[in-house]
Structure 1
């Protein structure tokens, strides 16, 4: 798709490739970051693969909540793998160049996976709301069919709504500069190099953020507000504590996920004089949640089967 777009607009592309410079201001020693980032990437892959293996093999974990966790693990691995191999190649081997079609393809996949992760967080929030606020109706509402339909809807929503992002970026005229002060092809980082008006790109980026991420976050906040209201009405302190404990890990990950997105948006819109912060946050946002999601869920939900199985595995080793 991007190659055809490039050919049809060849007169607009004066540069044949982009150069990803890495982390702004620390180019001389940024290769040292390859070790912690590489370890985070390996942790993300190994932890999520372990989660998938355990969920698939343990019958007690064949529940909608764990199905969503498995889907989240697949999305996390896809997001991390989209960016980390290229980042490590830049840091270790100075493989800075990336073709325009590859750059636009990476831009699309990143947006798609980030939106998908937000959507799965929403599905998990709905799952917890039904389980806590309407427990008697839970088996009839949150079924395997519900999980499949919700996942397909989120996949279609994000894959289709993010197509205009790289297409609009490919329509810009890149006539002179081709050095991107970043480790990946972010929409705003790439289009900032264009020589023509990029207002439409900024408008669609904000529209996408508000309609997709904003609506997801709003519904998640509403779900947990209703959960909190329901829990506070209970007379049993033990029952309330148990209900809230199942949501703690989810809230931790949601808080980190959306807070970093807000910070990145602010740093880009305000044109900060220290772009390193925005670039570093952007990279960490795409690798830390995949590495921490399985760990947080396993350790915080100690009463759930996943923690017990991981604990047994550790002891047996």
Structure 2
């Protein structure tokens, strides 16, 4: 991020406070945070390893799971190493470039994650509503292209955030009361007008979440209509089971994500400590649970994981 135009009014570093008011408990807080982070890494790397090793899993659905696993790893890794440095070693300084990079990376990966969920809904729609043409419509190459489109969308939408911040004058107070560089938390330290930053961040969140949820809702509306036409109860149940894992992942992603976005802007009624802990858990819990959900609900993947774990 060295290319950003950092004016003389900018500080050379910011200070991330961790969880203000709970400094004495930082070491204890780091224990559950690090455990959840490590479990999430193990689960997601297991999916990547098993899918990579097993030729029979080189299918569009499992390619999507791998991309989802990569976004989960990136999301938690973008905040936890620095947060643990704060909790364990009191290393609170972060350069302006490092702060803007962390913010850009975190928000871009979050938008990419949402795009992957939309693609997974499309995959389930084709599998249930047009099963005979599934192999020709949903291919690995097409999934890779959709993933690339999602990545480009994320970069283009998030790039204005650090660019807008880099042009703001900052006050003498360079302290960020958080564990990571969130867009509005950084903008609030500015002495200048941050109206554009606030509006852009809020509109972006609602447009992305609104558009993606609309597409997912449309896909599942068509899926439900197709399922209701199935006469066989066994086929009916099998079709619904293929969607269960995806629905669980969406429920863990969108409501907490919207809460996190709104609480950064309208958090007057929320304790700062509660707000910061919940914001961190939002980036930790889904990456830990997603591989467990798909491992339990997807028999083919579960069997292959069992093959490698039992061998060891």
TM range (shorter): over 0.9
5+ residue gaps, structure 2, are none
After TM superposition, list the pairs within 5 Å mapping 1:72-151 onto structure 2: 72-151=68-147
- The one of 262, 265, 270 aligned to 1:269: 265
- The one of 212, 220, 224 aligned to 1:224: 220
Secondary structure of the residue aligned to 2:24 is coil
1:167 paired residue number:
163
1:297 paired residue number:
294
1:306 paired residue number:
301
1:50 equivalent in alignment to 2:46? yes
Q: Distance in 2 between matches of 1:202 and 1:29?
A: 32
1:251 equivalent in alignment to 2:235? no
CA contact (8 A) 2:184 2:265 kept: no
Between 1:33-42 and 1:91-100, the stretch displaced more is 33-42
1:286 paired residue number:
283
Q: CA deviation at 1:48?
A: 1.2
2:58 paired residue number:
62
Deviations 1:163-197 (A, max 9, x none): 00111112211122111110000001111111111
Q: Distance in 1 between matches of 2:140 and 2:4?
A: 40
CA contact (8 A) 1:2 1:167 kept: no
Q: CA deviation at 1:4?
A: 4.2
Deviations 1:222-245 (A, max 9, x none): 211221121122111111111111
1:5 paired residue number:
5
Q: Distance in 2 between matches of 1:98 and 1:209?
A: 26
Q: CA deviation at 1:2?
A: 4.0
TM-score by length of 1: 0.94
1:202 equivalent in alignment to 2:179? no
CA contact (8 A) 1:60 1:305 kept: no
CA contact (8 A) 2:4 2:166 kept: no
Secondary structure of the residue aligned to 1:238 is helix
Secondary structure of the residue aligned to 2:15 is strand
TM-score by length of 2: 0.95
Q: CA deviation at 1:75?
A: 1.5
Between 1:292-301 and 1:121-130, the stretch displaced more is 292-301
Between 1:59-68 and 1:207-216, the stretch displaced more is 207-216
Deviations 1:147-166 (A, max 9, x none): 12101101111112110011
CA contact (8 A) 1:253 1:293 kept: yes
Secondary structure of the residue aligned to 2:23 is coil
Deviations 1:81-128 (A, max 9, x none): 111110110000000111111101110000111011111111111000
CA contact (8 A) 2:26 2:88 kept: no
5+ residue gaps, structure 1, are none
> Against the structure 1 CA distance between its residues 155 and 207, is the aligned structure 2 distance closer, same or farther, given a 3 Å change threshold?
same
Q: CA deviation at 1:3?
A: 5.0
2:154 paired residue number:
158
Q: Distance in 1 between matches of 2:62 and 2:121?
A: 13
Q: How many aligned residue pairs are there?
A: 311
Secondary structure of the residue aligned to 1:279 is helix
